[in-house]
């Protein structure tokens, strides 16, 4: 067994920016799907190829974009290619998975109704699963120093913005006890910062979003507002599902799923609000986190199965609420030293 584990050992070093790159990937993919379906609906679903007997499915340019993203990763060193690769790869994956209905049906049905629910589950599982993995397995000191060494590659090549250099220098000062931290700190201190390039601006965008969530989470009205929004979102989803059921009468299973997910989300949100006066902030926010995840993983899935576009607003609200809750929870856990 030890010989086998040694043979398959990958020796992978995790990136401290994986969350931001994954966010770029998912946002690019979801935006591509929505823009593609909007364009096709407005233009009457034209076929590229016309009357020639050929049909160029948009899965093909999606594959080319993913190829370009992979080529960037394989051809260049440093951190600069990653934001661009995440953007292009996300757009390519969006074009690919948008045609999942064709891949899972015998008659190549692009309009297969559960297709959007399949896409939704893929993206939510990717975001929530990776987030939980990072929360449960934070970077070790060796990995943090290795990430700093990776940043040094950009600095040596003259492509390191001042903000990023100062951020890494601060990290190395915190890890001063590591055998390589001091040497890396000295080298980075001698690196001349460069103007901020497009890839770093893309990465900085998510820094600004995170800072905005942090500021909102620290206000004194953050907890009651988050709880109220979670309750309103669950009620809104139930009303939309009820309206669809009354109009079409063929979404009984979806309506039941929305009600079940909404009931769970409401229960968790109310538990947090009721516990707020006597429980610590961490316990309250953890209840809100369960409410937001229940909405994402249950309520919105069934709502998407009933109506693709009616659930879009709920998805956006659910993701924003989850971002606020996670920002608050991360701050509380950091204060507690966990």
User: Helix 281-294 to helix 222-248 angle, to the nearest 10 degrees?
Assistant: 20
Residue ranges per structural domain of the chain? 13-136, 141-214, 218-336
Give the percent of the chain with pLDDT over 90.
7
Q: Which token pair is 19?
A: 């969350």
Q: What is the pLDDT of residue 10?
A: 62
Helix (H, G, I), strand (E, B) or coil at 192: coil
Q: What is the sign of the dihedral through the CA atoms of 299, 301, 307 and 313? A: positive
Q: Is the pLDDT of residue 232 over 80?
A: yes
- What local confidence, expressed as pLDDT, does residue 144 receive? 87
Cα–Cα distance measured from residue 162 to residue 188, given in angstroms and rounded to the nearest whole number: 11
Residue 51: per-residue pLDDT: 64
pLDDT at 326 over 80: no
For residue 24, pLDDT beyond 50: yes
Alpha carbon of residue 171 to chain centroid: 24
Please provide the size of the chain in residues. Answer: 338
pLDDT at 66: 95
List the Cα angle 133/139/143 in 5-degree steps: 135
For the segment 142-173, what is each residue's pLDDT rounded down to a tens digit? 888 888 888 888 888 777 878 788 888 888 88
Read off the pLDDT of residues 78-103 as tens digits, 9 standing for 90 and up.
Answer: 777 888 899 999 999 999 998 988 88
- DSSP letter assigned to residue 191: S
Q: Average the pLDDT over 222-244 and give the result.
A: 82
Please list, residue by residue across 258-273, b when 16 or more beta carbons sit within 10 angstroms of its beta carbon and e when fewer do. Answer: bbebbebbbebbebbb
Q: Determine the 3-state secondary structure of 161 from DSSP.
A: strand
Q: Which two tokens stand for residue 152?
A: 């040094």
Predicted local confidence at residue 93, as pLDDT:
95
> For residues 334 and 191, which has the higher predicted lDDT (pLDDT)?
191
The pair phi, psi for residue 280, each rounded to 5°, is -70, 160
Q: What is the pLDDT of residue 121?
A: 82
| Mean pLDDT confidence for 53-58 | 75
Mean pLDDT, all residues of the chain: 79
Within 8 A by CB and 6+ apart from 186, the residues are none
CA 282/CA 280 separation, integer angstroms: 5
Domain topology for 218-336 = Butyryl-CoA Dehydrogenase, subunit A; domain 3 (1.20.140)
What average pLDDT score do residues 305-323 get?
70
**Greater pLDDT, 275 or 272:** 272
| Beta-bridge partner residues of 161 | 194
């Amino acid at each position: 067994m030890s010989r086998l584990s040694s043979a398959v050992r990958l020796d992978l070093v995790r990136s401290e920016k994986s969350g931001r790159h994954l966010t770029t990937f998912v946002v690019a993919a979801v935006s591509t799907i929505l823009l593609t379906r909007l364009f096709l609906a407005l233009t009457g679903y034209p076929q590229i190829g016309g009357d020639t007997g050929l049909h160029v499915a948009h899965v093909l340019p999606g594959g080319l974009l993913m190829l370009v993203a992979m080529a960037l990763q394989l051809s260049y060193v440093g951190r600069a290619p990653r934001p661009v690769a995440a953007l292009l790869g996300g757009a390519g994956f969006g074009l690919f998975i948008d045609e999942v209905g064709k891949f899972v049906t015998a008659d190549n049905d692009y309009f297969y109704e559960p297709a959007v629910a399949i896409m939704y589950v893929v993206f939510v599982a990717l975001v929530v699963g990776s987030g939980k993995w990072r929360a449960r397995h934070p970077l070790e000191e060796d990995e943090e120093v290795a990430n700093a060494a990776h940043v040094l590659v950009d600095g040596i090549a003259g492509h390191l913005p001042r903000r990023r250099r100062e951020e890494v220098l601060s990290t190395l000062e915190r890890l001063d006890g590591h055998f390589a931290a001091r040497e890396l700190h000295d080298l980075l201190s001698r690196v001349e910062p460069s103007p901020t390039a497009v890839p770093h601006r893309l990465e900085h965008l998510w820094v600004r979003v995170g800072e905005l969530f942090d500021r909102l989470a620290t206000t004194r009205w953050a907890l009651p507002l988050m709880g109220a929004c979670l309750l309103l979102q669950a009620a809104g989803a139930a009303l939309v599902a009820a309206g669809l059921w009354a109009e079409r009468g063929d979404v009984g299973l979806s309506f039941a799923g929305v009600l079940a997910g909404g009931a769970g989300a409401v229960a968790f949100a109310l538990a947090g609000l009721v516990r707020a006066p006597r429980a610590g902030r961490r316990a309250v926010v953890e209840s809100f986190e369960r409410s937001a995840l229940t909405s994402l993983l249950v309520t919105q899935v069934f709502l998407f199965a009933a109506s693709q576009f009616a659930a879009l607003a709920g998805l956006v609200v659910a993701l924003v609420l989850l971002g606020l809750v996670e920002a608050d929870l991360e701050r509380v856990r950091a204060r507690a030293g966990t």
